[in-house]
Structure 1
C-alpha cells in the first residue's frame, strides 16, 4: 500500500529558502494522517516556524512537493487558497487578534466567515470562552487582555470551527502550567473528533502528556525520522 494513502498532508523532499540565503528547510518529507497528534520540536532557528508557515499555506516552498486534502498546493491557482485555508486552524505566537473586536467576536469570526447563522453562534462561542476560562472577559478587547488571556482567545478562535488541521506555534508559551495542560486537553479533545493536530513547542514536558503523539524533530532545517514513523499511519487513527 502507498504510505501516503488516506493522508491529509504529504511533504516530499521540500526545501525552503528566503531570497538567496541558504535553505532554512532541506529535503523535508513526512505524511500527516487524519485524527493524529504531532509535536514539532527543535532548537531555536531549527526551522519550526518556517515549516508551520508551509503547513498553514502562508508560504510556498522553493522546491519539492506538498499535497493537502488531496490537492497539489504548489500548482493550484491562488484563488483557491482561501477555501483551503479555512480548513486549517492556526494559533500564532503573536496571537493576531483583531483589536477592535471583543473576545467574543474574535472567537466568533471563523464561524461568521463560514456563513454560520448568528442564532447558531452564541452558545458555542460562549461555551468555548468558558472552557478557556474567559467567560468573564467575553466583552473585553485584546488590548485590555493580558498576554495569557490573548493566547487563550487565539486558541478558542482557532478551534471553534473544528478545523480539519490545527497548527499551533508555542500555544502554551504565555500561560501558567495548569492552563497549559488544560489547553493541551482541549487540543486532545479536538483531535479525538478527527482533527489532525500539530503543536510546535520547546517545552519537552508537554511531549509526555499525549502518549500516542508522534514527535517531529527538526535540526538545522532537516527533519529527523530514523524509524520512518512519519511516513506511515500511527496506530491510533480516526476513520
Structure 2
C-alpha cells in the first residue's frame, strides 16, 4: 500500500502559528490509518495540544493540507464542519463537561445530539458509567465530582458513540495508575472495533501498555517518527482485529 492510500487522516506540510508569533508547529506531515492506535508524546510546550486541536478541527492551520475521511477539511465551508466533528470523539485536558447536566446526561449527550431514541440511550450509558467505575455517581453534577471522576465522565462521553477517530489529551493525567490502565483498555477495546485512537501523553510508562501502538513524537513543534509509521500503515495482517 502506498503512502496515504486507505488513510483516515493525512497532514501535508502543515504549519500553525497564533497571530504574529513564530510557528508552534512546523512542516507537520503524517498519515493515520483506520483501526490503528497512536501515542503522541513530547515535552511540555512541544505542541501536542495544538496538534490535537488541528485533529479535532477546533483550529485551522496557517498553511498546508489536512485531509480527513477523504476530504480536504481546510477548504470545507465552516457550516459543514459539525458533520465531520461528529465522527470524532475528544477527551479534553480540561474536561469541558456541561455543568448543569448530571454525569449520566453528560455521557448521553453525543447520543442525543445524534438523534438516538431515548429508550436506546439508558443501557449503553449505564454500562459505560459502570466501566469507568461511576455507576454510583450517575446523578452527580460535575461540580460535586473529583478531578479524576470528571476525567472519567469526559472519557465515557467521548467513546459512547463509537467515533471513527478518538483524540485524547492526557486522558490519564488525573487518575491513579490502576484506573489509567483500565481506561487504556477501554481505548484498546474501542480500537479493536475499528476506531483510530490518538492519545497524547507525557507519561512514557503508558507507551508500553498497548503492544501494537505506534509512537509520534513532537519536539519543539516538529514531528519525528520513531516507529516508522507516519507514512505507511502498520505491518500487521488485519488492522483493528
Give the TM interval when normalised to the shorter protein: over 0.9
Name the CA shift for 1:227/1:207 in 2 (closer, same or farther; >3 Å).
Answer: closer
Which position in structure 2 is the counterpart of 1:195?
195
- Secondary structure of 2:230's partner? helix
In the alignment, structure 2 segments of 5+ residues that lack a partner are none
- Secondary structure of 2:29's partner? strand
| Conservation of the 8 A alpha-carbon contact between 2:41 and 2:217 | yes
Q: By how many angstroms is 1:228 displaced?
A: 4.1
Which position in structure 1 is the counterpart of 2:138?
138
Cα RMSD of the aligned pairs, angstroms, is 1.0
Q: Does 1:67 align with 2:67?
A: yes
Which position in structure 2 is the counterpart of 1:216?
216
CA distance in 2, matches of 1:104, 1:225: 39
CA distance in 2, matches of 1:24, 1:30: 17
Q: Give TM-score scaled by structure 2 length.
A: 0.97
Q: Does 1:182 align with 2:182?
A: yes
CA distance in 2, matches of 1:153, 1:98: 11
Which position in structure 2 is the counterpart of 1:104?
104
CA distance in 2, matches of 1:191, 1:162: 9
- Secondary structure of 2:15's partner? strand
Q: Does 1:121 align with 2:121?
A: yes
- Aligned length in residues: 239
Q: By how many angstroms is 1:82 displaced?
A: 0.3
In the alignment, structure 1 segments of 5+ residues that lack a partner are none
